[in-house]
């Protein structure tokens, strides 16, 4: 017993750097960046107002990233997210300027139009069998062309005050965009870890053929993800 204990204590603990980097590398880089800017400009960078602005401005990028995350999970990519965001946002803006309620305009322009454009991507991938990289590269140009036609290549202004109150306001001192980003992140976390569709998406990304022979409808999940 004593010999076994001594042998175990003499064993060197192997540090798997690639595994550690894969899990905590991004967090480490973020921490390093915060430390550098915090030391360089402590009177401005590490203030509550600046941190709030960083979170607010990052909320849109976080929301887009969470959408692309699912496309990456199935070993694909979506290059049209910027065009989808711009086109759905332009339609939302046009509806609000026309007098529609901001919440209803956001639902129509953001949810239905954005979801419809994503469904077009998914349907084209399923129908043609081409990689999402090729499909979304093409639809990116198409969606941006439609955007230029609708907007006449001009900026949109004159939004109702209700828009600023709802989407640029705060709730309990927290900016509304941050709350929306956190709510969507929580919903997607639950979906990917606690539901069958989430496990199926991971399975498709691991091996599409194995997922197909396991009874997973790969085309339906591709349509949902894109």
How many CA atoms does the CB half-sphere of 90 hold within 13 Å?
19
How far is residue 156's CA from residue 162's CA, in Å, rounded to a whole number? 16
* Residue 8: per-residue pLDDT: 53
* Residue 12: per-residue pLDDT: 54
In angstroms, what CA-CA distances link 195 with 84, 141, 184, 199? 27, 35, 16, 7
* Residue 139: per-residue pLDDT: 92
* Residue 13: per-residue pLDDT: 55
In angstroms, what CA-CA distances link 62 with 32, 65, 69, 156? 20, 5, 10, 24
Alpha helices in 41-160 (DSSP H): 48-73, 81-97, 102-106, 114-128, 132-151
Q: Which residue has the tokens 């069958």?
A: 196
* Residue 142: per-residue pLDDT: 93
Whether the CA torsion 135, 137, 142, 143 is positive or negative: it is: positive
How many CA atoms does the CB half-sphere of 8 hold within 13 Å?
5
**Tens-digit pLDDT profile for the chain (226 aa)?**
545 555 555 455 566 777 787 777 888 888 888 888 888 887 888 887 888 888 888 888 888 888 888 888 888 888 888 899 889 988 888 888 888 888 888 888 888 888 899 889 988 988 888 888 899 999 999 999 999 898 887 888 777 777 777 777 777 778 888 888 889 889 988 988 888 888 888 888 888 888 888 888 888 888 888 7
Q: Residues with Cβ < 8 Å from 189, sequence gap 6 or more?
A: none
String of DSSP letters for 100-126: --HHHHHIIIIIIIHHHHHHHHHHHHH
User: Closest Cα to residue 219, out of 126, 127, 128, 131?
Assistant: 126
């Amino acid at each position: 017993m004593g010999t076994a204990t001594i042998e175990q204590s003499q064993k060197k603990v192997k540090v798997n750097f690639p595994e550690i980097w894969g899990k905590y590398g991004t967090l480490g880089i973020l921490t390093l960046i915060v430390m550098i800017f915090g030391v360089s400009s402590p009177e401005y960078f590490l203030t509550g107002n600046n941190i709030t602005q960083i979170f607010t401005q990052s909320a849109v990028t976080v929301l887009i990233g969470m959408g692309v995350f699912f496309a990456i999970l199935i070993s694909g990519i979506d290059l049209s997210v910027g065009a989808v965001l711009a086109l759905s946002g332009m339609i939302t803006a046009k509806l609000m300027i026309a007098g529609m309620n901001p919440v209803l305009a956001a639902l129509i322009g953001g949810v239905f139009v954005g979801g419809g454009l994503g469904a077009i991507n998914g349907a084209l991938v399923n129908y043609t069998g081409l990689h999402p990289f090729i499909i979304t590269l093409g639809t990116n140009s198409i969606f941006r062309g439609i955007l230029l036609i609708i907007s006449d290549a001009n900026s949109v202004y004159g939004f109702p005050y209700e828009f600023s109150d709802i989407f640029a306001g705060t709730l309990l001192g927290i900016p509304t965009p941050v709350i929306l980003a956190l709510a969507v992140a929580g919903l997607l976390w639950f979906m990917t870890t606690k539901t069958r569709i989430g496990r199926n998406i991971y399975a498709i990304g691991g091996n599409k053929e194995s997922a197909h022979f396991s009874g997973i409808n790969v085309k339906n999940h591709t349509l949902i993800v894109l």
